[in-house]
Structure formats: C-alpha cells, structure tokens
Amino acid sequence: MFYLDYAVVQHSLKGDQGLFEELMEIAKNNPSDVLANFWWGRALHHCDALMKETIQDHLQRTPNRNKDDMAADITKQTAPCRHSYYVDHWDEINRMIRTQYMP
C-alpha cells in the first residue's frame, strides 16, 4: 500500500517530484519491503486515532459487513491522513531511498 500512497502523493501533492521509478526498482529487487513497511508503519502509527475511530464507526454502522470490504473502505477513508504524513516527511523518505537503496 505504501507504493500506491507514494505514487498518489508524488503525482497529486508534490507536482510529480519524487523517486517513484526508483522506488519501483527497489520494490522489484528487494522483496522484503523493508522501506515500504517502515514508512507504512510510521504513517499508520501517526494515524492511529483516526484509524480506530473509523474502524469503530464502520463496526457500529455495518457490523455484519464483509471484513475485507470494510478494511478496504477504512484504508481508503484514512488515506488523506497517511498522505499528509508522507508530505510532511517527503524529504526524509526520498533521502532514505537515495542513500540506502540507490547505488
């Protein structure tokens, strides 16, 4: 999910300034997804309160709903929070891509 979020932020919020192509090469050559998991985890931690609130709301409104569909909706609803986190840390994310993953 980090890769999709990165692409959205780069295109929609950062004027196509980023390292998406390089990030895709990293993803292809680094199946452990350490970079993606690191930033995804940090964004989720940052958005924890919103995630919990959104989950509670969905469980109260539609308790018998398919869990996968609910999870997809929750992920979509909380995307602006993650995107905001990535914008705030954009330089740090790209510096990590450049210094730790690019020759």
What is the rounded CA–CA span in Å between residue 34 and residue 54? Answer: 27
What length is written for the chain? 103
Write out the chain's pLDDT in tens, 103 residues: 899 999 999 999 999 999 999 999 888 888 788 999 999 999 999 999 999 999 999 999 998 889 899 999 999 999 999 999 999 999 999 999 998 877 6
List strand residue ranges (DSSP E) for 1-103, in order. Answer: none
User: CA neighbours within 13 Å on the CB side: how many for 72?
Assistant: 5
List, as one string, the DSSP characters of 5-40. HHHHIIIIISTT-S-HHHHHHHHHH-TT-HHHHHHH
What is the DSSP-derived secondary structure letter of residue 65? S
Q: What predicted TM-score, i.e. pTM, was given to this entire model?
A: 0.87
